[in-house]
Structure 1
Amino acid sequence: MKKTLRKELLTKRGFLTQEEIASKSTIILDQLKSNPIYIQSKNVMIFLSFTNEVSTDLLVKDLFQKGKRVFIPLTVPATRELIVSELLDLNKDLHIGNFGVLEPKKEAVRPLPPEALDLVIVPGVGFDTKGWRIGYGGGYYDRFLPKLPPATPTVALAFEVQLVEEIPTASYDFPIQYIITEERFIDCMKNR
């Protein structure tokens, strides 16, 4: 069921043009940047977007400009673990890593315990308004998110086409707290 839904959602997102991705991403990022969750944060974990995800490039630059510490995920396929690593230099610290995603180079890994984060921006293929998500199938975030203190906000940046009525869940799935799309801010905790 999840595999079929993942494929359908990736196809839907794939129909977005580059212009639509850029304009919708700007709206989504503006909503996030004006939100107190973002304004008050200091240690922010963010995914580096690829293909047709909500573009996070400008958000990473904004984080640096505002003096916030930026952390990115590093996947370890051997253990199926996600490590949080500080990003200091967009030009020197990164290379194309696992799954074709930009990740820190080995010599640029600066780990941080998850409990030190005060905002986590979560990627995904699809979401429902209760905060359940479908990722890319590796389970990295489902294993990582429970390590965060409950007070740490988790926010998904998504296009409206990524929202569905209900995501099928399993015992290992872990919900996020908020979703921001080009049309709305969703407090998922109110919908559970």
Structure 2
Amino acid sequence: MKKNLRKELLTKRSLLTEEEVFLKSLSITQQLKNSFIYENANHVMVYLSFRNEVETASIIKDLFDNSKKVYIPLTVPDTRELIVSELLDLEKDLEVGNFGVLEPKKDAIRPVSLDALDLVLVPGVGFDKKGYRVGYGGGYYDRFLPKLATSIPTVALAFEVQMIEKAPTDQYDFPVQYVVTEEQFIDCKR
């Protein structure tokens, strides 16, 4: 069921034009920036967008412009875990890594403790209003999110086409606290 839903949602997202992705991402980014969660955060983990995901390069630039620390995920395929690595330079630190996603180059891996984070932006294929997500199928964030202190806000950035009534869940699924789309800012903890 999850596999078919994932495929359907990825197809919907892939049909968004470059302009739609740009404009909707702009709206989502603005909502995020106007939130107390973002304003109060100084150590932010951001996924590096690809394949029509909500664009995150402008968020990273904004964080740098405001002298905030930026961290990115590094996937470890053998254990299906994420390492959180500090990003210092958007141009020089990155190369195409696992799954075709930008990741830190070997000499730019700067691991940090999860305790350093005060905001985590989470990618995904689909989300419901309770914060449950349909991921890409690797389970990386399902393993990662439960390790975070509950005081660290987790925010999914998604287009409205990625919102679903109810995500299929099992004991390993872990919800995000907020979902931001171009039309709404959802507090999933309510």
Shift of 1:13: 0.6
Gaps of 5+ in 2: none
Shift of 1:184: 0.5
User: TM-score, normalising length from structure 1?
Assistant: 0.98
- Map of 1:32-47 to 2, 5 A cutoff? 32-47=32-47
User: TM-score, normalising length from structure 2?
Assistant: 0.99
Shift of 1:54: 0.5
2:17 matched residue in structure 1? 17
C-alpha RMSD of matched pairs (Å): 0.5
- Map of 1:1-192 to 2, 5 A cutoff? 1-190=1-190
One-letter code aligned to 1:28: I
Contact kept, 8 Å, 1:12 with 1:161, in 2: the verdict is yes
The total of aligned residue pairs comes to 190
Identity among equivalent pairs (%): 67
- The runs of at least 4 consecutive aligned structure 1 residues that moved more than 6 Å come to none
Deviations 1:96-133 (A, max 9, x none): 00000000011110001112100000000000000000
Deviations 1:64-107 (A, max 9, x none): 00110000000000111100000001111100000000000111
Gaps of 5+ in 1: none
SS of the equivalent of 2:3 reads: helix
Shift of 1:15: 1.0
SS of the equivalent of 1:144 reads: helix
